[in-house]
Amino acid sequence: MDYWVELLKGPTEPDITTHQKRHGRLEQREYWWVAADELEPYVAEAYGWQGLKLCGRVRRSRRRLHQTEWESVETSCWVYLSLQAAPSGPQCCRWLRQHWGIENRVFWVLDVTYGEDRNHARHIGLPLTKIRHTAINVLRHLDLGYIPDGQRAAAARPDRGIAWLRKV
């Protein structure tokens, strides 16, 4: 583990820094990465991960536009495994952003729209989760765009639900 930490410390200056201004806040992302030539045999033996090409870390800092100090700073590590050649730096940045877009899209709907964090029925396990995921996938397949609108449409006319399932 010490080898992993030392390898990711790397240079003090980030390889790429990006800035984004949205929703009344400024977000800065700093990316570091290293080729995993020396680390690949260790990771393959210890974890069974074959084809490690890159590893790195990203530090995300956020603040409101009118503030001068960063409100939150998060650092996370990442690895890139592939049998193909390693991508370029900007390509890695895009892939990392897309990954979090997918994560946020799925979990935000489950947490906010379906109230999964407040719902004690989530403890009954997999069947209820599968029903929720099926409902989300059906509504997205119908190109309704906004999941709560699809829920309201289905609640207003329950007979639509069977017709929607036939379309999928």
State the pLDDT at residue 11.
55
Contact by Cβ (8 Å): 57, 76? yes
Average pLDDT over residues 78-96: 76
In a domain, 64, yes or no: yes
Under the banding of pLDDT at 50, 70 and 90, the label for residue 5 is low
In a domain, 119, yes or no: no
pTM of whole model > 0.85?
Answer: no
State the pLDDT at residue 8.
56
User: Measured between alpha carbons, how far is 60 from 54 in angstroms, rounded to an integer?
Assistant: 19
In a domain, 21, yes or no: yes
Question: Domain range spanning residue 7?
Answer: 1-85
73's enclosing H/E stretch is: strand 72-81
Under the banding of pLDDT at 50, 70 and 90, the label for residue 61 is very high
Contact by Cβ (8 Å): 20, 45? no
Tokens standing for 85?
A: 């050649």
Residue 102 one-letter amino acid: I
In a domain, 77, yes or no: yes
In a domain, 51, yes or no: yes
In a domain, 149, yes or no: no
> How many domains does the chain fold into?
1
- The alpha carbon of 128 is separated from its chain's Cα centroid by a whole number of angstroms, namely 23
User: Measured between alpha carbons, how far is 59 from 71 in angstroms, rounded to an integer?
Assistant: 13
In a domain, 63, yes or no: yes
- C-beta neighbour count of 80 within 10 angstroms: 18
In a domain, 134, yes or no: no
Under the banding of pLDDT at 50, 70 and 90, the label for residue 28 is very high
Average pLDDT over residues 64-85: 83
